[in-house]
Amino acid sequence: MLSSLPDSGPLLELRDVTKVYGHGDAEVHALAGVSLTIGHGELVAVVGSSGSGKSTCMNVVGCLDRPSSGSYSFRGVDVGSLDLDQLALLRRHYIGFVFQGFNLLARTTALENVELPLVYRRVPAAERRRQALATLHAVGLEGREHHTPSELSGGQQQRVAIARAIVTNPSLVLADEPTGNLDTARKEEIMRLLTDLNATRGITVVMVTHEADIARWARRIVQFKDGMVESDTTNDSTAA
């Protein structure tokens, strides 16, 4: 049932979400009542200092974690009521992740890395290969399919990671500091790729960053502070 959810209404909706770690005196309120709605096809930047709760919020949005209180619905499903396996299935079918440290499987070729989400989706081998190759070409990595991460530059590795995130054609791509380890020229390449994917494929992209010039690429900027949304502004002068 989790593989075919309706796409009417907003993509995701957080209502008074809190997240509390620890017990008693050691209690930490990572999220202190966050309400946020993101629609289909949006490109959102989430900014804030470290400890502002933006990472915790992204874990909840990415269905890696469940809220302590409040409600979170993703494509109309109440995530708070799902068990761990159902969360995993939700991630499998609708969410792609791009991490700061690339997080590719070492000593595994780019092609195999991109095929990995399709393996868990039970896509047959031939079809898996075809889709993975097409996606690698879409992110501009022709000729690098059989290279392992150690044989690729940082920018190329991040492209592989992006290909892995979008190969399943997800509703949402969560990018955690996608340009964190890259130089300025590579940063721009990656941001152009993400905005292109957002524009041409209609994939909703939510990226976490602490860099103002990266946030400028997004049309909407959500600022976190002390576990709450401090501001939620529309950016009319996107860098793209």
Q: Smaller CB distance to another protein: residue 56 or 198?
A: 56
How many C-beta atoms surround the C-beta of residue 137 within 10 A? Answer: 13
Q: Give residue 109's Cα distance to chain centre.
A: 22
Concatenating the DSSP letter of every residue in 40-84 gives: TT-EEEEE--TTSSHHHHHHHHTTSS--SEEEEEETTEEGGG--H
Q: Smaller CB distance to another protein: residue 62 or 220?
A: 62
- Binding of another protein at residue 105 (CB under 8 A)? yes
- Footprint of another protein on 82-101 (CB under 8 A): 84-85, 88-93, 95-97, 99
Q: Smaller CB distance to another protein: residue 75 or 164?
A: 164
Query: Shortest distance, CB of residue 64 to another protein, whole angstroms?
Result: 5
Phi, psi of 76 (to 5 degrees): 85, -5
- Name residue, tokens 């990595």: 141
Query: Shortest distance, CB of residue 212 to another protein, whole angstroms?
Result: 25
**Residue of 66, 121, 216, 225 that binds another protein (CB under 8 A):** 121
Binding site for another protein (CB under 8 A): 59, 62, 64-65, 84-85, 88-93, 95-97, 99, 103-108, 116-117, 119-122, 125, 164
